[in-house]
Structure 1
């Protein structure tokens, strides 16, 4: 049993009269409470209250009980033991001190009488006056076993309707894992959408489940879901980083746990701007076949979605719920720091450090930084990130790869270009600068209705100043910090 469900069970067994359960899944929570009622009272029945119907017990409504105070009185005066679920009582508690007072009375009267009032809501609100009397528990989202059972029932219904199922055991598990982080209703809806009008159920339909996760993430405002996929071939150079990622492709599998390996926590890529740090995060998610989510720290601090600390903690809780996944935090130094005099930043840093150390969900953090010197030492110590990589300006061999990647990606025949010569004359250029030069040169050729030529590139290079020149001092400072503090992402050096 999930730890949260076990904690609720223990609270029930010791006779705690007031229990608040936080969940969007009324049906699933009430099913759990029905099973607990059968255990405790040998009679699987629940009484319910909501603002529309009042108190209903055994299909009979209690007169005038839409008033929550009257409903709570009815529970107190009922001679029989039992469970009563109050749905969405939060607004009534906010509006009326009478409701809070009556709940405090109920706590004292119902102790030891095998009667429990459950407050069921997705709203985390509870009055301070009740904090000593009430137990509060989040109800966990469905786990692998529940989602697996739902998926098997769904496949059986598909089979009965004449659909052909072409999924092996591993592919079935992929569908179940893809639905992690969704409620049972959301998972059912995701399967319905993914399989709608599909006569053949194949592994490729799993992308529909990821789209449903995207809808979930969009509701959080500060998280962005990336659907574009990349491969290692899209990343020029950085062989040490690629090798590290390749060796961890199966890091989130049961086989890795059975071997004794703990799941990886994340990496921090620091270095020169425009050299592949962000692309490394995108490639990681694609290589490991995990969904990628980007946390926008600017939106966290904007206040648009609430206080920064609350928004940040809610975003991490959402990520825990959609695991396994990759969480990409771009330019982490701009949002997670120990800025003097900024209490929000300090609290966010503290929360993030604790979460990185303690979270048990299969979330891999891919963080990038341009100014590593702005990050607090606590964030950089071993145990937070599995590895810190330094990404420098690309070497000559890496620039050759970068030219080939971008020329091919934009429909050019690489054999028409002297790539080694282009790599030689672009010493000190970043990968993004090389890409932008190719784009600028292509606009020149397009404007003249002709194919791109090597001369177009040479003209643009001749009229441009690379970052290595304009930010020479800053780059030296970054290299100095990285020496003996970070692992080089590239195997070779400039020559």
Structure 2
């Protein structure tokens, strides 16, 4: 039986080696990690430990323990494997170029399949580039090595403890701390994780729970460089969202289920939520608050970058971004204004392929990902997108009610260090009917600006006077706002109670 603490990558490679496959192609740029995995396999997948040999164009054939070796060319290295007496693992680095350029190399690989089969010899090609010649594609097993999972990262942290101590630092080796640090590093390679750890140790010589913000900041820089995914720090708590009581209650209930995701049936693990409504009413703020509520990192898919062509075809870039996010789970994934990229016209061509992939991915993605999507015009989304099973719920964020507007005023005043107890805000409800949350925020900002210019504290009159300078969206875009509200009246679950 498989060890439950075994990493996903190790289990995959163990299964391949134990199945007797003689040729393996691993696509990965992490040569050190692949070597570490193969060392463990060499010591456990055979009746007794077998040697691990490595070959590269610059260093030739070398035994992993440092004994023996020859400066062999690509073809001679294959002959070495063919004539080797005994069982062994052979790791060939960046062997895609010799396979591409030399027909005799491709022929010899076909010979090796027969010569190594059932003889305990396994040839593993490791390269960051995928190139498998047609002649051997049926004989070689291909593995796309994902970034390290949580178990691998925790093991990596334990191995790094010696290096950290030797450099004058220390690591909190408590199991809970190691897993918290590992979760902060998820989505990074070992080399990237090592740089993140050094950054955290540079600020303070102890690696513990207080180091998590430094690790996440390094992760933000590394993730953002992809150009398709943006890491957003968790700066918005659920208390920063005014009103929306029904959606908040739903989220708090789903948080408990999401935290139990590894112990409950996959069908009741929360998948995601679609928040639609009028612009400026708190949709984006709600998604940011979900990440804080669930205590998870938040990533936003940049659809503009995906469609730009800088990262290859849009459908390929979109699929790559989604798979990358799965390797970073658990996390909250934000699709902002999703109707701009996936709508009722997205049924053919390039957009159709992205639409089809997204539907399948939503159904089958890793259970550690919670998707938060926002839309201003949900009526533009295809029925397949919003049916039950894709998202757990579709919430409509309407114009805030009287008590919600007061709540939003208090939120924005508190965020700016102003004590709300000194203000009677009730009269403002009569002057702010039909306002969005964003308009209330700008009213507070305008009132504060007036007070600061006069070098005095904020007064109620400043807020009252600021209301006269705002023409709400519900008036300037009345027809469009009324259309959205009418469409959602019976089609979506309200995020707030209905107006009495």
| TMscore range, shorter length | 0.7 to 0.9
CA distance in 2, matches of 1:29, 1:131: 21
CA distance in 1, matches of 2:483, 2:420: 36
Q: 2:288 corresponds to which residue?
A: 282
Q: 1:336 corresponds to which residue?
A: 342
Q: 2:299 corresponds to which residue?
A: 293
Farther-moved stretch of structure 1 (233-242 vs 188-197): 188-197
Farther-moved stretch of structure 1 (36-45 vs 19-28): 36-45
Per-residue deviation at 1:401? 0.9
Q: 2:23 corresponds to which residue?
A: 18
Q: 2:439 corresponds to which residue?
A: 433
Q: 1:367 corresponds to which residue?
A: 373
Q: 1:33 corresponds to which residue?
A: 38
CA distance in 2, matches of 1:132, 1:451: 76
After superposition, the Cα gap between the structure-2 partners of 1:135 and 1:259, relative to the gap in structure 1 and judged at 3 Å, is: closer
Q: 1:219 corresponds to which residue?
A: 225
Farther-moved stretch of structure 1 (384-393 vs 148-157): 148-157
Conserved in 1, the CA contact under 8 Å of 2:329 and 2:366? no
Q: 2:204 corresponds to which residue?
A: 198
Q: 1:270 corresponds to which residue?
A: 276
CA distance in 2, matches of 1:165, 1:128: 49
Per-residue deviation at 1:420? 1.6
After superposition, the Cα gap between the structure-2 partners of 1:76 and 1:349, relative to the gap in structure 1 and judged at 3 Å, is: same
TM-score by length of 1: 0.88
Conserved in 2, the CA contact under 8 Å of 1:150 and 1:188? no
Alignment partner of 1:469 is 2:471: no
User: 1:320 is paired with a residue of what secondary structure?
Assistant: helix
Conserved in 2, the CA contact under 8 Å of 1:5 and 1:139? no
Conserved in 2, the CA contact under 8 Å of 1:35 and 1:44? no
CA distance in 1, matches of 2:333, 2:230: 10
CA distance in 2, matches of 1:475, 1:367: 20
Alignment partner of 1:62 is 2:70: yes
Q: 2:92 corresponds to which residue?
A: 86
Farther-moved stretch of structure 1 (356-365 vs 189-198): 189-198
Q: 2:50 corresponds to which residue?
A: 44
Give structure 1 stretches of 5+ with no counterpart.
none
Give structure 2 stretches of 5+ with no counterpart.
none
Conserved in 2, the CA contact under 8 Å of 1:4 and 1:138? no
After superposition, the Cα gap between the structure-2 partners of 1:76 and 1:259, relative to the gap in structure 1 and judged at 3 Å, is: closer
User: 2:124 is paired with a residue of what secondary structure?
Assistant: strand
Alignment partner of 1:479 is 2:457: no
CA distance in 2, matches of 1:200, 1:81: 44
CA distance in 2, matches of 1:21, 1:340: 35
CA distance in 2, matches of 1:370, 1:356: 20
Farther-moved stretch of structure 1 (210-219 vs 371-380): 210-219
Q: 1:147 corresponds to which residue?
A: 153
User: 2:39 is paired with a residue of what secondary structure?
Assistant: helix
Farther-moved stretch of structure 1 (447-456 vs 278-287): 447-456
User: 1:388 is paired with a residue of what secondary structure?
Assistant: strand
After superposition, the Cα gap between the structure-2 partners of 1:132 and 1:257, relative to the gap in structure 1 and judged at 3 Å, is: closer
> How much is the aligned-residue C-alpha RMSD, in angstroms?
3.1
Conserved in 2, the CA contact under 8 Å of 1:34 and 1:44? no
1:403-452 superposed Cα distances (whole Å, 9 cap, x missing partner)? 12112323445355442222221111110122123323433444444444
Per-residue deviation at 1:159? 7.8
CA distance in 2, matches of 1:267, 1:143: 26
CA distance in 2, matches of 1:171, 1:36: 28
Q: 1:120 corresponds to which residue?
A: 126
Q: 1:179 corresponds to which residue?
A: 185
CA distance in 2, matches of 1:422, 1:95: 76
1:241-298 superposed Cα distances (whole Å, 9 cap, x missing partner)? 11112223333435x6446574311111011111011001111111221111111111
CA distance in 2, matches of 1:107, 1:308: 38
1:347-376 superposed Cα distances (whole Å, 9 cap, x missing partner)? 122222222111224111111111111212
Conserved in 1, the CA contact under 8 Å of 2:149 and 2:327? no
User: Which of 361, 383, 388 is the equivalent residue of 1:382?
Assistant: 388
Conserved in 1, the CA contact under 8 Å of 2:347 and 2:355? no
CA distance in 1, matches of 2:440, 2:113: 69
User: Which of 248, 252, 257 is the equivalent residue of 1:246?
Assistant: 252
Q: 1:233 corresponds to which residue?
A: 239
Q: 1:352 corresponds to which residue?
A: 358
User: 1:267 is paired with a residue of what secondary structure?
Assistant: strand
1:69-106 superposed Cα distances (whole Å, 9 cap, x missing partner)? 33223333445443221112234444555544543454
